Structure 1
Amino acid sequence: MSVYTPLSPAQLATVLEQFGFQLRDYHAASHGIENSTFLIDARDRHDQPSPLVLTVFESLDHAALAPYLSLLEQLAEQHLPVPAPLPDANGNHQITVAEKPAVLMPRLPGQHDFAVDTDRCQQVGALLARLHASNTEQLQPLPSERARLHDFTHHLDKLPAADQDSAAALLHDWLAHPAGTTLIHGDLFRDNLLWHDGQISALLDFYNACLDHPEYDLAVALNDWCVDANGQGVAERERALLSAYRDQGRSVDDGRLCEALAVAALRFWLSRLAGPVSDHSEGLGSKDPEEFARIYRQRLEALAV
């Protein structure tokens, strides 16, 4: 992820001491645009290697962060490939770094790999099925994606004039129906997975997670994993992802999915238009809004058929 809050080696060493680790090396992660993330090589109390990740949150406060950390703990206990937060010497999962909330987690094995093929799409579909079947009885209340979408209606004027009316109508229709009750990730782009020996080894970044329709989560993933450079859906990849999802016993409402594909594309087009990255950040920086403009127009055209 891009870095907005640079930290010195001395600052990082002080942070790690609270958890019983010694700093050996670190570098800023290069994927994503929302928080400041550091990949750390450390040693534990027994002088054993301990790969870690420190995330400094740029927008969430301590109270807003708490339900996400509880969620990660619960999903890790259910054997999903997610990193659970580590407690400091006082048992706290949250600390303050540079006057901002921060969390230390184990760095799960694997690397980012942005290659896409049908096998990887199958793995993504199967993973989403596992996530959607997870036990959510103990969840703390999570922010609603519907609330985020409603907030984005205030940015419709950032769209080209020719797209504003159709976008407003689409959001109005989607928001007029109740949200679903399935736990969704909400952000399963390629930069939120790690791979090891061709297999998914970690699912990252749950800070858009919420309860909603599973078709919306599928739509977010399909719009990243299963489109070509022109924003057109790649049928072979789509079939692979959805078949693997259904093979795990999950059902898909095709009509809702078709609408969700357009809504999800519009959501990320608007988010990229509304939230450019600070000029002072390090890393990838803002992602191209036109990528999702192309996807949105293709999905809207399919919805009209």
Structure 2
Amino acid sequence: MSSPASPSAPIPPLLLVGCGQMGGAMLAGWLADGLAPSVVLDRHRDDIPAPHRVVRDAADLPRDFVPSLIVLAAKPQKAAEVLPALAPFARQAPILSVMAGKTVGGLTAALADAGCPDAVVIRAMPNTPSAIGQGMTVCYTPPGASDAQRALCERILSAIGDTAWVTREEQMDAVTAISGSGPAYVFLLAELMEQTGTALGLPPELARRIARRTVSGAGALIERTGVDAAELRRRVTSPGGTTQQALSVLMAPDAWPTTLDRAIRAASRRARELAS
């Protein structure tokens, strides 16, 4: 696993296809780390600092632009629409796909049909904390990718957080369900804590502040100490105390141990469905 600290080498020019929630989060991290002049293809993106450029249609991509890497962050259902336009660029640069569920084989076949049979596709799943350099990205490299292409992806992704690699592509479904979708689970926890705090009589702004700071502080603690999560939980839990009372509800067989497992498995199934 790599460190989120910025390497000394600048980030080379990128072609970012799709600048929604995930693409925008990655772009924010790259801009903060010194991105070389790059091009963004997105129909809804209006603002990007010079010398970077935005184009709204694939037909308007500058043919003289030579990216070091194509980052494919469009919605999965848009793959068939954008891939043919990327074929000329994919002859010169590898593709890093962050589209949930889209397999390396499927994307490679589509590019071959578009006239680029030698395209190299590397698959990755980042998450939205990438926008502040605290992302978690897990990648899969197919056998045809070179060490240099893998190192390029590592360099670009290390600018937005930690990176890790899996050896089997099917493992990306679990990655998508845990780290890709995971921030939403944490945000839901903060949201529900805030709602209950207000219901118990706290001023809404105080309930929000307490909930958010508790979630972010607990996350920082588990990250910085490296202590096992179960041990940290035990340290907070005094026998017969308030935390134990709450955990007796949350850890009941039909509560978090079951529902969170079901939720993550549902997300993993959906990731597989998107590939079909």
TM-score (ref. length: structure 2) = 0.25
Higher-Rg structure is: 2
**TM-score normalized with structure 1 length:** 0.23
Structure that is richer in helix per residue: 2
